[in-house]
A and B are shown apart, each in its own frame.
Chain A
Amino acid sequence: MNESTLFAITFILYIISAFFYLGFLFSKKSGWDKTGSAMAIAGLILHTAALIVRTIESGHAPFTNMYESLSFLSWASVLAFVIIDKKFKIPKIGPYIMLIVIGLVALASSPLMPKETAPLVPALQSYWLWLHVSVTLFGEAFFAVAFVTSIMYLSAKEVDKKDKWDSVSYRCVAVGFPVFTLGGLVFGMVWAYKAWGTYWSWDPKEVWSLITWFVFALYLHTRIVMGWKGKRSAVIAIIGFLAALFTYFGVNYLLAGLHSYA
C-alpha cells in the first residue's frame, strides 16, 4: 500500500476513534472509550506504516516540509496520548486530543500542503534532522496533552477530579519540558553550530522556542518553589502550549527567518 492510502485510512480511523470517544463523553458507557482507544491505536499503527513508507520512498526523514511535519506531529500526539492514557487512565481527554489530531491531519491533507516527496536540500542533509525535529515534536506532543488536561482542569467542577487533571498536567510538562529542551534547544544549537558555525542567531524560530521554554520554566518555578497549583498552573500550561504552537506554525507563516524550510 502506498503512503497516501495508508494516511487516508489512518485519517478515517482517527475520526472513528474521536466519534467513539465523543459517544463515551455523552453516554458514559465504558465500552465506547475502549473502542475509541482501540481505533486510535489501530490508526497509530497504520500511521507508523505510512511514515515508514514515506521515509523509504523519499530516502530521508519524514519531516522536511509542512505536510510531513504535520503528519509526524499528529502521530507523536496520538502516541503521547496513548502513553499518558495507559498510565493515568484518562479516556475523557480522548475526544479533545483526537479532535486536535484530526485538525492536524486535515490540515496536512488539505490542498494547501504540497505532498510530493522532494529531494533533501543541502541544509537538511544531516542526521541532526532526525534528532532535532523528532525529539522537539515529541516534547510538543506532551505539551499538547498538558494543554488539554489543563483545559479539563479549568472546566471540571469536583475537587478530586480537578486534582487529578492538575497532577496529570504536571506529569505531562515533566515529560515535555526535558524532551523539548533537549530536542528543540540543545540539539538545535548543536546542529546550527554544525551547519552555520553559530549555535544561536536570534532567528525568530529560535527566539520563539526560547519563549516557550521561558513559559514552562515559569510553570515549574511557580509550582515547585512557590507552591502554585490548579488554576494558575493550568493557565501557564495553556499559554506555554500556545507559544509552542506559534513556534511550530506561526513563525513559518508570519515571520521570516533562517528556518525557511519547515
Chain B
Amino acid sequence: MKVLIKIFKVLIKFFTSIRLAIILLIILAVASVLGTLIPQQRSLEEYAARYGQLSGPLIRLQLTRLYHSIWYLAILGLLALNIIVCTLTRLSPKWRKAVRPHVQAEAKSLLALKIKDRFKKNAPLAAVQAELEKSLASSRYRLRTSEKDSRVHLLARKKILGIFGSDFVHLGLLIILAGGIVSGAASVRKELALKEGEIQSVPKASFEVRLDKFTTEYYPDGSVKAWKSAVTVIENQKPVLTKTIVVNRPLTYRGYSFYQTSYGWNWDNPSLEIWSKKKNDPAFLKKLKLKIGEKAQLDDKDQTSISVARFIPDFVLGEGNKPQTRSLQPNNPAAFVEGSRGGEKVFSGWIFVNFPDMDRIHATKETDLSFELKSFEAGQYSVLEAAKDPGANLIWIGCALAMIGLGLAFYWPTWEIKAVLEESQGKTEVIVGGIAAKSRDSFQSEFEKILASARRSK
C-alpha cells in the first residue's frame, strides 16, 4: 500500500512538473513535423499508391489525419492540464508576494545578493530613511516599511505586474485551446455555389442569400484583379442588406460571414459568336450568335444553314482521339459546328477561340466557307463560403492575453530593492540589496544611481 501511494505521489509530481511540459513540447514538435511530411486527409487510393503496404498502419495510427487524431489531441489536452496545474501552483506564492510581501529582510541575506550596497552616515535614522525613500520614490518605486528591534526594514518595488507575465501567456493559451474546441464542436461552414439571381438558404440560419451579380476584374496584363459578388441578404422574404463581397472583405450578418472562395462557369447553355467567311469572296462576312442546337441561315443563295452541336470549354483529345474537356475553365474553348443544305449534311468540325486559323472542318460536299469561333458568353457562378465560428472570439481574447503576457514577461521587469537601516551612536548604517530577474544591467545602473543620490544628501 505504501509503495502504491509513493508511486501515485511520484506520478502526480511528474504530471505537475515542468519536465512534462518540456517532453510534451518536444513530442508535439516532432509529431507536427511528421504531419507535414505525410500528406494529410487524402483518399485511400492515394495513400495506397504512395505508401503501398505501409498505408494500412499509417491510417490505423491516424497519421493521415494527424492533427485531428485522438493521440495528438490527447497530448494537447495533457499539455493544457499541465499548464493549468503548473500555473496554479506557481500563482499563489506569486500572488502572496505581490499583495502581502515579506518586508523584513535579514541584513545577511541582502549582503549575499549580487547587487548590493552598504554605507554609514552621520545622521539620525529618520533623516537617512527619508532621503532613501525620496530617492526610491523619484524612480517610481512603491514602498513598504516595517520596524522591528529598532531596525527599519524597507521594501521598494516597481512593475510588479511583470511577475504575472507568464500567467497571462498561459491563460491566453488555454483560452485559445478552448476556442479551438468550441470551433471544432460548433462551427458551421458550407460552400454555396450561386448562379446570378439564385437564392440559397444558409445552414442553420433564418435567412437566405441571393447572388445579384458576379464579376471578374482584370489587370491590364490579363491577370485577375478581383472577384466581386454582389449579394443580398433576404430575411422573411424581404431584402435586408446588400453588399459586394471580395476576397479579404467578407460580408458578416447575424454571426455568419460569407467569403469569396471560388468561382466557376455554368456551361449548360453558352452563347457563341461565330464568324463565317468565304475563301472566294473576301467581302463576305457573316457574324452569328448561336446557342447549342440553334440553327441559322448562312447564305441566301445556296441555302446553307449552320448549327452548333457541342461546346467544350477546355478542349483536349482524350482516349481514342475523342474530344473531351480537361477542366471547367475556358482554357481552350471549342465548338463543333455542322452545316447542312436542304436537309443534307455538307460539313462538320471543331473550331477554336484560341486558334482562329485552325479548323478541323470536314466537308462532304464542295464548300468555300470557313468559320471562326470569336467569343463565348456563359453564365458564371460564384462560390461563397458561409461560416459561423463561435470559437473565433475566444481565439482573439486568448491571443490578446498571450501578447500582453509576453510584453509583461519580457519588457516589464519587476525590480525589487530591500534595505535594512539601523542607528547606533548617532550614526545610521544602511544595507541595501537589489533583485531583478530580468534586465539586470539596467537595474544595476538604476540601483547605483538611487544609492548615489541617497549617500550624497547631507
Whether B225 and A204, one on each chain, are in contact in the complex, defined by CB atoms closer than 8 angstroms, is no
Which residues of the other chain, A, contact B189 by a CB distance below 8 angstroms?
Answer: 197-198
Contact residues in A for B71 (Cβ distance below 8 Å)? none
Whole-angstrom distance between the alpha carbons of A162 and B406 in the complex?
27
User: In the complex the two chains form, what is the Cα distance from A119 to B22 in whole Å?
Assistant: 45
Contact B248 A126 (CB under 8 A): yes
Q: How far is the CB of B227 from chain A (nearest CB, A)?
A: 6
**CB-CB contacts of A163-199 with B at 8 A, as 1s and 0s?**
0000000000011011001100110011001111111
Q: Which residue of B lies closest to A120 (CB)?
A: B225
**Looking at chain A, what size class is its interface with the partner chain?**
35 or more
A196 to B67, CA, bound (A): 19
Which 7 residue pairs across A and B have the least CB separation, nearest first? A197-B387, A122-B247, A178-B406, A126-B248, A214-B29, A119-B219, A197-B259
Query: Which residues of A sit under 8 angstroms from B407, Cβ to Cβ?
Result: 178
Taking a contact as CB atoms under 8 Å apart, the answer to whether B224 and A122 are in contact is: yes
From known contacts A126-B248, A181-B403, infer whether A197 and B32 are also in contact, taking CB-CB under 8 Å: no
Is the beta-carbon distance between B247 and A123 smaller than 8 angstroms?
A: yes
**B36: which of A186, A207, A222, A225 is its contact (CB, 8 Å)?**
A207
Closest beta carbon of chain A to B441's beta carbon, Å? 9
From 208 to 251 in chain A, residues with beta carbon under 8 angstroms from any chain B beta carbon are 208, 210-211, 214-215, 217-218, 221-222, 225-226, 251
A202 at the interface (CB under 8 A from B): yes
A118 CB-CB contact with B under 8 Å? yes
* Contact of B364 with A by CB under 8 A: no
Verify A221–B259 contact, CB threshold 8 A. Answer: no
Segment at the interface with A among B271-279, B388-396, B449-457: B388-396
Query: Which of A118, A174, A199 meets B395, CB within 8 Å?
Result: A199
Say how far A49's CB is from chain B's closest CB, in angstroms: 27
Is the C-beta of B270 less than 8 angstroms from some C-beta in chain A? no
Q: Does residue B332 face the partner (Cβ distance < 8 Å to A)?
A: no
Q: Which of A119-141 contact B (CB under 8 A)?
A: 119, 121-123, 125-126, 128
12 A-B Cβ contacts within 8 A? A118-B223, A177-B410, A178-B407, A185-B399, A190-B396, A198-B389, A202-B40, A207-B32, A207-B36, A208-B36, A221-B21, A226-B22
Q: Are B221 and A119 in contact (CB under 8 A)?
A: yes
Interchain CB contact under 8 A, B22 and A255: no
Asked if B385 and A197 sit within 8 Å, CB to CB, the answer is: yes
**Residue A261 at the B interface, CB < 8 A?**
no
Taking CB atoms, residues of chain B closer than 8 Å to A122 are: 224-227, 246-248, 260
Rounded to whole Å, the gap between the CB of A87 and the closest CB of chain B is 10
B4 to chain A, nearest CB (A): 29
B402 at the interface (CB under 8 A from A): yes
Residue B264 lies at the interface, judged by CB distance under 8 Å to chain A: no
In the complex, whether B261 has a CB less than 8 A from a CB of chain A is yes
> In whole angstroms, how far apart are the Cα atoms of A207 and B402 in the complex?
19
B259 touches A204 (CB 8 A): no
Q: Is the CB of B28 within 8 A of A214?
A: yes
Please tell me if B296 contacts chain A, counting CB pairs below 8 Å: no
Q: Is B33's CB within 8 Å of the partner chain A?
A: yes
Contact A221 B22, beta carbon cutoff 8 Å: yes
**Which residue from chain B places its CB closest to the CB of A88 in the assembled complex?**
B441
Q: Is the C-beta of B25 less than 8 angstroms from some C-beta in chain A?
A: yes
Q: Bound complex: CA of A208 vs CA of B227, how far in Å?
A: 30
Query: Closest residue to B227 on the A side, CB-wise?
Result: A122
Q: Taking CB as reference atom, which chain A residue is nearest B30?
A: A211
Chain A residues, Cβ within 8 Å of B330: none
Interface check B186, CB cutoff 8 A: no
In the complex, chain B residues whose CB is within 8 Å of the CB of A118:
221, 223
How far does the Cβ of A61 sit from chain B's closest Cβ, in whole Å? 13
Contact B22 A196 (CB under 8 A): no
Q: Closest Cβ of chain A: how far from B162's Cβ, in Å?
A: 13
CB distance from B101 to the nearest CB of A (A): 21
Partner pick for B402 among A181, A197, A211, CB 8 A cutoff:
A181
Query: Please, which residue of chain B has its CB at the minimum distance from the CB of A194?
Result: B248
Decide if B248 touches A195 in the complex (CB within 8 Å): yes
Partner of A181, one of B35, B226, B260, B406: B406
A218 to chain B: which residues have CB within 8 Å?
22, 25-26, 29
Interface flags, B412-437, vs A, CB<8A=1, else 0: 00000000000000000000000000
- Distance, CA A181 to CA B409, complexed state (A): 14
Can you add 9 more A-B contacts, CB < 8 Å, to A123-B248, A195-B248? A122-B227, A122-B246, A125-B246, A177-B406, A177-B410, A182-B406, A186-B399, A194-B248, A214-B29
B392 touches A255 (CB 8 A): no
Pick the residue among B223, B395, B399, B406 that contacts A119 (CB under 8 A): B223
